[in-house]
Amino acid sequence: MNRRYTSAHWGTYEITDTPDGPVLKSVSDDPSPSSIGNGWVDASRDTRTRVLKPAIRKSWLASRDRGKRCSNDSFVEVDWDTALDLVAGELKRVRADHGNEAIYAGSYGWASAGRFHHAQSQMRRFLNLIGGYTYSRETYSHAAAEVLFPHITGLTNSQLQAQMTDLQTISEHTELLVAFGGISGRTAQIASSGVARHETEHWLSKAHERGMKAINVSPIKGDYAAENAPEWIPLRPNTDTALMLGIAHEWHRRGLHNEAFLHRFCNGWPKFEAYLTGAKDGQPKDAAWAAKICDIAPEAIRELACRMSTHTTMIALTWGMQRADHGEQTLWMGLTLAAMLGQIGTPGGGFGFGYGSTDVVGKRSHRIPWPAVPQGQNPVDSFIPVARIADMLLHPGQQYQYNGETRTYPDTRLVYWVGGNPYHHHQDLMRLEHAWCQPETVITHEPWWTATAKRADIVLPSTTPLERCDLMTNGRENGLVWMSKVMAPLGEARDDHAIFADLAKRFDVQDAFTEGRSTDDWIEWLWTEGEKAAKASGHDMPTFEDFKAEGRLTLPASVDRRILFSDFIADPTGAPLPTETGKIEIVCPPIARMGLPDCAGHPTWITPTEWTGNAAPQDLHLISGQPGTKLHSQLDSGSHAATRKRKGREIATLHPDTAAARGIEEGDFICLKNARGACLASAEVSDGIRSDAIALATGAWFDPQLINGTWTCVHGNPNILTLDKGTSSLAQGNIAHTTLVTVEKWEGELPEVKAFEAPEVTSNL
């Protein structure tokens, strides 16, 4: 019998049918398989948490009441035609009364792997045919990079990611890897669109076998694969820019920086030099100055500077670095540091961004431009920077700054969300609760009763990838997978495509939406278009039938060695960077001209709005990174995510001294709190974290309950605590990693976790 496979953002799996149902096993040629898939089948079969039929919020259906959206309201189940008539009716009403701009369908989120059934692509294709929508720009992952890099390097973040020095080259040439924010196997489990083989850890191991040394610069020790026992510089959270300035100053003081490189390949060195030395503001950014800010001894900073300047050094930053107040500065200073060392363009030296943040960063691949579902053109040009959603909903008509423009928030009447969970991803969730009650109608398609589904007026049950066939292609991967259907759809769940095709009928655009193709025809069309792209890149492809029978295809390993900025370094005048000055912009004239109060024309240390540098002694810095056992909130209801919970709560890590000072022991329940809200978790005591920090991963399904007057997420979602502010008026990215909390032992009863209970659903009003 042919082997059958499926694929996810966390890996590729072989499917076996057993009397107890389907079993998924990571493919045997994956060197570092992820265990996230262990909870995939059970979460997908869980009738307790799945949305089984179209459901309408009772109070909304009865009286269009939007105030009850966040209050455990009950739902009425309806048939598909009734639900779709309601959706079409609302879209038509809002479109006629307020224009398409009043439909917010930024719909940010990771949805599922699989090229055809990509929820957002299907939604955009449909909405573009009926007049468009207000969309969102950039990502929660790296908005500061997406806005900053085009100014200072002339390259978009994705162009830069595509040029990033590959990990194999690092494994062969790098002597010293200075990893700001680490490089973690935890996050390298994931790649958007699907992973065929996890390679990050393999290449790092090779590098260490050869003798590469790594230094993990992070508040958390475990951010770098432990078996390679790297040195750990546990700096104070959010102070990397200061540490980098301290290193830069030390080089400058000792004449160790590469002046020739700075003049030839960079713009603005003398002006930055005046800032660095203090000639400009009277404050030398020397090691002693930096030490006070980042809480690393001045000698250690000087020693680090010395080692970096005497080795082939890769300065690598994780994406998480810029998910912080003034996150632009850390990136800009990281690149400036690499420029001062003058190793940019050499194999093994220079600058890297995002190694390990997902597995495909630095992966050698053929970069075949696999096709996607065509989305058409959005006739509406209204957008927001993605993390400004609550501001938009709360303040229609208000002006704000973004990337040198003064913009105005649109007046949103209807929110349409597919394939994302804002009640996972947004900051300051009680503020979002308030904002979420402003629009007239909220519509979502979701397989599960997530917090977002519970807060929608119309919930349409969509299938999971296990319930449909699809094609996994990813230009940054070398594997393609025919995703076989693993199980029948639960309840009345339908594919997002089928839902939109039926809606399109109600707008007389069904032919334009489907182009007369069935789902199978579409997937075959993607294959045929993909075949052309592959052939153009020199690859012979099997027939579609053979590919499906085989289940997977692995392209020959790519030999494409990449070194960031190598063309520019080889020929700075013939191949200048597409920046205003043609060079790397340490001083960036376009940003300087914006005259922003919170982002100057060169990298600058700016104190974060919340940090332990000037906080009350009991305050801890909350680090809410990505969860090891799931993808964001996906599969949180499954058995594997449960392995990282105690009595159903998430686990937070704190230092033994911090725990002792608060009378907390391993396994105790604790409450994290600030002015925005509170959150319960179980304590894990470890000396692998700074004593002024606490780590609580994201992903717990949001479960706020009012306890003694404070909204408390009893399940452990850190976003009830995080701050909803932009990185700066340049990028307006989220600053999830900038948050202070107090922590105490939880002495009271443990309230019941209701996150995995479906709302009350009845069959009539």
Ligand X SMILES: Nc1nc2c(c(=O)[nH]1)N[C@H]1C(S)=C(S)[C@@H](COP(=O)(O)OP(=O)(O)OC[C@H]3O[C@@H](n4cnc5c(=O)[nH]c(N)nc54)[C@H](O)[C@@H]3O)O[C@H]1N2
Quick one: which of 33, 246, 419, 603 contacts ligand X (CB under 6 A)? 419
Locate all alpha helices (DSSP H) within 449-559, ordered by sequence. 451-454, 496-505, 510-514, 519-536, 544-550
Our CB check for ligand X shows the closer of 136 and 566 to be 136
Tokens (6 digits) for 159: 């162009």
Q: Which of 35, 7, 28, 31 is nearest to 199 (CA)?
A: 31
Q: How far is the C-alpha of 50 from the C-alpha of 493, rounded, in Å?
A: 9
CA 518 vs. chain centroid, Å, equals: 33
Q: Binding of ligand X at residue 319 (CB under 6 A)?
A: yes
Which helix (H) or strand (E) segment is 734 a member of? Answer: none
Our CB check for ligand X shows the closer of 632 and 715 to be 632
Q: Which of 385, 396, 513 is nearest to 99 (CA)?
A: 396
Residue with the CB atom nearest Mo ion in the bound state = 141
Our CB check for ligand X shows the closer of 113 and 534 to be 113
Q: Binding of ligand X at residue 674 (CB under 6 A)?
A: no
Give the binding-site size for ligand X (rule: CB under 6 A). Answer: 60
Quick one: which of 56, 91, 217, 384 contacts ligand X (CB under 6 A)? 217
Residue 681 near residue 668 (C-beta atoms within 8 A): no
In the list ligand X, Mo ion, none, the entry touching 112 (Cβ below 5 to 8 angstroms by class) is: ligand X
Q: How many CA atoms lie within 13 A of 516 on its CB side?
A: 0
Residue 249 near residue 284 (C-beta atoms within 8 A): yes
Q: Which of 5, 40, 104, 108 is catalytic?
A: 108
Quick one: which of 26, 141, 187, 330 contacts Mo ion (CB under 5 A)? 141
Cβ neighbours for 183, distance < 8 A, ≥ 6 positions apart: 177, 200, 204, 214, 223, 224, 225, 316, 318, 355, 356
Our CB check for Mo ion shows the closer of 272 and 423 to be 423
Q: Binding of ligand X at residue 628 (CB under 6 A)?
A: yes
Q: How far is the C-alpha of 683 from the C-alpha of 658, rounded, in Å?
A: 11
Using the contact rule CB under 5 A, the part of the chain among 134-142, 303-311, 370-378, 749-757 near Mo ion is 134-142
Looking up tokens 């993605």, which residue turns up? 386
Residue 142 near residue 734 (C-beta atoms within 8 A): no
Using the contact rule CB under 6 A, the part of the chain among 82-90, 420-428, 431-439, 473-481 near ligand X is 420-428
108 is catalytic: yes
In the list Mo ion, ligand X, none, the entry touching 612 (Cβ below 5 to 8 angstroms by class) is: none
Quick one: which of 106, 194, 219, 371 contacts ligand X (CB under 6 A)? 219
Of 493-532, binders to ligand X (CB under 6 A) are 496
Q: Binding of ligand X at residue 122 (CB under 6 A)?
A: no
Q: Binding of ligand X at residue 358 (CB under 6 A)?
A: yes
Residue 245 near residue 333 (C-beta atoms within 8 A): yes
Which helix (H) or strand (E) segment is 5 a member of? Answer: strand 4-8
In the list ligand X, Mo ion, none, the entry touching 420 (Cβ below 5 to 8 angstroms by class) is: ligand X
Q: Binding of Mo ion at residue 626 (CB under 5 A)?
A: no
Residue 460 near residue 444 (C-beta atoms within 8 A): yes
Give the binding-site size for Mo ion (rule: CB under 5 A). Answer: 1
Our CB check for ligand X shows the closer of 120 and 165 to be 120
5 is catalytic: no
Using the contact rule CB under 6 A, the part of the chain among 378-386, 630-638, 646-654, 659-667 near ligand X is 630-638
- What angle is formed at CA 226 by the lines to CA 225 and CA 229, rounded to 5 degrees? 110
Q: Binding of ligand X at residue 110 (CB under 6 A)?
A: yes
Which conformational region is residue 667 in: left (phi greater than 0), alpha (psi within -120 to 50 degrees), or beta? left
Q: Binding of ligand X at residue 111 (CB under 6 A)?
A: yes
Closest distance of CB 459 from Mo ion, Å: 24
What is the CB neighbour count within 10 angstroms for residue 516?
8
Our CB check for ligand X shows the closer of 110 and 332 to be 110
Residue 200 near residue 167 (C-beta atoms within 8 A): yes
Q: How far is the C-alpha of 62 from the C-alpha of 734, rounded, in Å?
A: 37
Q: Which of 5, 10, 60, 110 is catalytic?
A: 110
Closest distance of CB 235 from ligand X, Å: 6
Residue 654 near residue 688 (C-beta atoms within 8 A): no
Our CB check for Mo ion shows the closer of 138 and 467 to be 138
Quick one: which of 353, 400, 409, 448 contacts ligand X (CB under 6 A)? 448
Tokens (6 digits) for 180: 């700001």
Using the contact rule CB under 6 A, the part of the chain among 82-90, 97-105, 128-136, 313-321 near ligand X is 313-321
Q: Binding of ligand X at residue 161 (CB under 6 A)?
A: no
Q: Binding of ligand X at residue 698 (CB under 6 A)?
A: yes
Cβ contacts of 297-300, under 8 Å, gap ≥ 24: 298/246, 300/233
Cα dist. 566→177, 265, 348, 354, 552 in Å?
19, 12, 12, 19, 34
Q: Per-residue x/- marks for ligand X, 422-441, CB under 6 A?
A: --xx----------------
Our CB check for Mo ion shows the closer of 7 and 141 to be 141
Q: Binding of ligand X at residue 696 (CB under 6 A)?
A: no
Of 633-672, binders to ligand X (CB under 6 A) are 633-634
Quick one: which of 124, 440, 737, 758 contacts ligand X (CB under 6 A)? 737
Binding site for Mo ion (CB under 5 A): 141
Binding site for ligand X (CB under 6 A): 109-112, 117, 119, 140-141, 180-182, 186-187, 189-190, 217-220, 223, 237-238, 240, 318-321, 323-324, 357-358, 418-421, 424-425, 445-448, 450, 462, 496, 623-628, 631-634, 698, 718-719, 722, 736-737
Catalytic residues: 108, 110
